[in-house]
Amino acid sequence: MTAAQRKQLKKLLLALEADLSDKPAGRLEPNRPDEQDTKLDEDAQPLNEMLQTIASTRNRNQVGVLIRVQKALRKLKEDPQSFGECEECGDELPFGRLKAVPFAEYCVNCQATKDGPKAPATRKHLTDYKD
């Protein structure tokens, strides 16, 4: 990887870090807007729980990506020659992959092995139902 490519990736990583750092965490709304209200709207309860789960998952994913971005920036600063190498097999990651995901840690093959096999789909069409 050339110095110009590393500079371009550093710029992408810094922009991503700034974007993730400036984003406020998703708000987790309470199930009851008023603590004094003891009546629960049974129809609203599942929706509130789903929205809380979505916000919580989004916050956790955002923090995870920020940690990976900061790790990539540290690696770029401390050991720029090894930046862009797969952490598993040591092969160089394609520049196109790094432009798309500048904090990528593994090559496509090692990432696929790490992720494991995908579960087969149980439905091919919306109206197909299989157990």
Structure tokens, 62 = 């955002």
Whether the pLDDT of residue 34 is over 70: the answer is no
Query: In this structure, what is the dihedral angle of CA atoms 18, 104, 86, 108, given to the nearest 10 degrees?
Result: -170
pLDDT at 25: 64
- Give the chain's domains with CATH numbers: 3-22+48-115 (1.20.120.910)
Which residues lie closer than 8 Å to 56 by C-beta, 6 or more apart? 26, 28
pLDDT at 122: 66
Q: How far is it, in rounded angstroms, from Cα 69 to Cα 14?
A: 8
This model's pTM is above 0.75: no
Whether the pLDDT of residue 7 is over 60: the answer is yes
Tell me what the mean pLDDT of segment 4-16 comes to.
92
**pLDDT tens digits for range 49-98:** 777 778 777 878 888 889 999 999 999 999 988 899 999 999 999 999 99
| Residue type at position 106 | Y
Which residues lie closer than 8 Å to 37 by C-beta, 6 or more apart? none
Q: How far is it, in rounded angstroms, from Cα 4 to Cα 101?
A: 17
